[in-house]
Chains A and B, each alone.
Chain A
Amino acid sequence: MGAAEWAIIGLSAKVALAAIGVALPLAFAVAWLLARRRFPGRALVQALVNMPLVLPPVVTGYGLLVLFGAQGPLGRALEALFGLTVAFRWTGAALAAGVMAFPLLVRPIRLSLEAIDRGLEEAAGTLGARPPVAFLTVTLPLALPGVIAGAVLGFAKALGEFGATITFVSNIPGETQTLSLAIYALLQSPTGDAAALRLILASVVLALGAVLASEWIAARLGARGAR
C-alpha cells in the first residue's frame, strides 16, 4: 500500500475515533435518561435518537448541511463559540459519523443499564456511598459490557459511513475522503481497481479487529465476574 492509502486509513481512523469519543459520553447520558427517568417527551427523545437509523443517510447528511453548514445556525454557533468549522472539514465527517452511529451506541448501553439491579445501588447507599460514588463503583462497571458493545458497533458504523458524509462534507481527498468515499471514488476510475481492493481488504481487517477486540474485552470482563 502506498502513502496515499495509508493516509486514507489514518484519516478514517481519526474520524471514527473522534466521532465515538465525542458521541459515547453523550450516548451514555441519553441511554441513562431513557433507562432510568420517566419524563414528558421521553418517547420523542427515543424516536429522535433512532432517526438516523431509519432516515435515508442522504437526508441526515442534508439536515446536517442545513444545520451545521457555514451559514447554518448551529454551524455559525460552533464557529463563534469554539472557532470550530465543520463544513467540508474532517471534523464534519466525524460529526456525520457520530450522528449516524449514535443510535447504535445508545441501544446496548440502555439495555445494559436496564439490566442492572437497582437494589445494588441502594445497597451501595446504605454502605455510605454518595450517589456519584455509587454510580462510579457500581453502575458504570456493571454497564461496561454494554458500553463496549456500543462503542465497537458505533466505531464500525463510523468507519464505513458513506451517505451522510458525502452529502454533508463532500468527498475531498486528504480532508473528508474516508475509506468508503475513497473506495467509491477509486471504483469510478478505470485505473483504480487494485487500490480499491487494497482499501477494501484494509476495511475488512479494521472491522474484524474491532469486533475481535470487543469480544476479548467482553470475555475478560465476563471472566472477572464469574471467578
Chain B
Amino acid sequence: MSGLEVALAGGAGGFAVEVAFSADAGVTALFGPSGAGKSTVLRMIAGTLAPRAGRIAAGGRVLYDSARGIDLAPHRRGIGFVFQDGRLFPHMSVRRNLTYARWAGRRGGGRPLAEVVALLGLGALLERRPATLSGGERQRVALGRALLADPALLLMDEPLSSLDRARRSDILPYLEAVRDQARIPIVYVSHETDEVARLADTVVLLQAGRVVAAGPAAELFARVDVSGPAGEAEAGALVAGIVETVDAAYGMARVALSGGAIEIPAAGLAPGRSVRLRVRAGDVALALERQSGLSIRNQLACRVIEIAGGPGPHALVSLALGRQRLLARLTRKSVDELGLAPGRPVVALVKAVSIAPPGAGRDAD
C-alpha cells in the first residue's frame, strides 16, 4: 500500500509553514503546541487551503504538485476528514450522514456500512439526529462517515479536543480499532501528549511551522533533546510489551517487556494482549541497587545511556531497558550524588499506579 508524501511551503495570515514528511499505513501524529501549524498542514493536504508550493501524493496519486500545476479539488482527493467539531449534517439522520459519501459523493462501496457500524458501535444511533447525540457519539459518527468515504488517507484534526477527559478515554479504543483495521495512512493532529503516545506509530513534531523532529513514536518519546508541546515536565518514554498474567484478585497485570517485566493496574487487560505503556519521566526514580521494603512494585534493571541537564535544577536521564528506552527526570543534585554517568547500571523504580491504563499496542504484521 502506498503511503503519503508531503512537502509543503505556504502560509495563512502572515504565518509561515514549511514541512516535509512521509507516512505509511498507521497513525502519523502531527504533534506540537497550538499555533505550530498542525491544522494548517492538514487543511493543505485536504485541499481546503492552498499552499504556495510543494507536492502531496497519497495512495499513489498526486493530489498537489506546484511544479506540474496539479491541484485537485477537495472532493477529488479521496480523503476522509474528521473535524474537531464533527460537522455532522444537522438535517440528516445518522444513517444518512454515514452514507453521505456513497449517495452524494459517489465514492465506491469499499467497506460495508454494517462493518463500520459494528466497529464504532453505532447500531443504536442510526435513526437519530445529530442534535440528539452526545459529543462522543457525534465524533464516532464523524469517524464512521469519513471511513465510509473509502479514503486513501484519513485526516483527523484534534478529533477529541471538544470532549472532556472521560469521553476521550471512551473514544480512544474506537480510534485504536480504526487504526488497526483501516490499512491506510492516518494523519492525526493533536497537542495532547497522552493521545499521541497512545495512538501514534510515527510522530512529526512541529514548532512554529517547521518540523523539529520526526520518527517512530517510541524513539521520539525516548529522546532527551526533544520535548513535546507540554515541555520537559511531561516527558516520558513509550514501552511496548505483552500481558503475561493477570492477577484478578488484585486487579493487576504483569507485562513482559524487552529487558524485564512491569506490573500495572489490569483495567480490562487479558493475557496475550500487546500493550503500549507511557512511563512519565517524572514518575521514574533511580537507585544504585535493588531496594527492599518499598511499596513501589517495579524495579527494572537498566543502564544509563545519556544525561541531559541544563543550567536549571532538573536533569533528564535516558536509560536502556533491554532494547527499549526509559526516561527518568531527576534533580541534577541527585545525578551528581549518585554519581550517574553513561554506562552505569541502575535500577529504575516505577510506581504501578503511575501508569495510565494502556492502549492496545499494534501487533507486528
Q: How far is the CA of A119 from the CA of B101 in the complex (A)?
A: 16
- B79 beta carbon closer than 8 Å to chain A: yes
Known: A141-B91, A142-B91, A226-B132. A127 touches B48 (CB 8 A): no
- A134 beta carbon closer than 8 Å to chain B: yes
Which residue of B is nearest A221, CB measured? B91
Complex contact B91–A122 (CB within 8 A): no
- A125 beta carbon closer than 8 Å to chain B: yes
**In the complex, chain A residues whose CB is within 8 Å of the CB of B91:** 141-142, 224-225
Complex contact A227–B90 (CB within 8 A): no
**In the complex, chain A residues whose CB is within 8 Å of the CB of B90:** 120, 142, 225
Between-chain CB contacts (< 8 Å), 18 pairs:
A117-B87, A119-B87, A123-B81, A123-B87, A123-B89, A124-B89, A126-B146, A127-B105, A127-B145, A127-B149, A128-B104, A128-B106, A129-B100, A129-B104, A137-B100, A142-B91, A224-B129, A225-B129
B contact residues, total (Cβ < 8 Å): 30
**In the complex, chain B residues whose CB is within 8 Å of the CB of A141:** 91
- A138 beta carbon closer than 8 Å to chain B: yes
Interface string of A135-175 (1 = CB under 8 A from B): 00110011000000000000000000000000000000000
**CB contact list, A98-136 vs B, under 8 A:** 117, 119-120, 122-131, 133-134
**CB contact list, B59-89 vs A, under 8 A:** 73-81, 83, 85, 87, 89
Complex contact B149–A124 (CB within 8 A): no
- Shortest 9 CB-CB distances between A and B: which pairs? A128-B105, A126-B81, A125-B74, A123-B87, A127-B101, A129-B104, A128-B107, A127-B105, A125-B75
Q: How far is the CA of A102 from the CA of B149 in the complex (A)?
A: 41
Q: How far is the CA of A162 from the CA of B90 in the complex (A)?
A: 41
**CB contact list, B90-149 vs A, under 8 A:** 90-91, 100-101, 104-107, 128-129, 131-132, 145-146, 149
Known: A119-B87, A138-B89. A227 touches B104 (CB 8 A): no
Interface string of A201-227 (1 = CB under 8 A from B): 000000000000000000000001111
* A-side interface mostly: helix
**In the complex, chain B residues whose CB is within 8 Å of the CB of A123:** 81, 83, 87, 89
Complex contact A226–B75 (CB within 8 A): no
> 10 other contacts beyond A125-B73, A128-B76, A128-B107, with CB at 8 A cut-off?
A123-B87, A125-B74, A126-B75, A127-B100, A128-B101, A128-B105, A128-B149, A129-B105, A137-B89, A142-B90
Residues in A lying within 8 Å of B, measured CB to CB: 117, 119-120, 122-131, 133-134, 137-138, 141-142, 224-227
Complex contact A227–B48 (CB within 8 A): no
**In the complex, chain B residues whose CB is within 8 Å of the CB of A117:** 87
Complex contact B87–A127 (CB within 8 A): no
Q: How far is the CA of A226 from the CA of B90 in the complex (A)?
A: 8
Complex contact B75–A129 (CB within 8 A): yes
Q: How far is the CA of A128 from the CA of B80 in the complex (A)?
A: 9
- B41 beta carbon closer than 8 Å to chain A: no
Which of B80, B85, B105: most chain A CB closer than 10 A? B105
Q: How far is the CA of A124 from the CA of B128 in the complex (A)?
A: 20
Which residue of A is nearest B80, CB measured? A126
Q: How far is the CA of A117 from the CA of B83 in the complex (A)?
A: 13
Complex contact B104–A120 (CB within 8 A): no
**In the complex, chain A residues whose CB is within 8 Å of the CB of B48:** 122, 125-126
Complex contact A124–B83 (CB within 8 A): no
A172 to chain B, nearest CB (A): 46
Complex contact B104–A134 (CB within 8 A): yes
- B56 beta carbon closer than 8 Å to chain A: no
Contact of B104 among A122, A127, A224 (CB under 8 A): A127
**In the complex, chain B residues whose CB is within 8 Å of the CB of A225:** 90-91, 129, 131
B58 to chain A, nearest CB (A): 13
Complex contact B104–A119 (CB within 8 A): no
Which residue of A is nearest B46, CB measured? A126
Q: How far is the CA of A123 from the CA of B100 in the complex (A)?
A: 10
Which of A126, A131, A141: most chain B CB closer than 10 A? A126
Q: How far is the CA of A124 from the CA of B46 in the complex (A)?
A: 12
Q: How far is the CA of A48 from the CA of B98 in the complex (A)?
A: 43
Which residue of A is nearest B155, CB measured? A126
A160 to chain B, nearest CB (A): 33
Q: How far is the CA of A125 from the CA of B81 in the complex (A)?
A: 10
B148 to chain A, nearest CB (A): 9
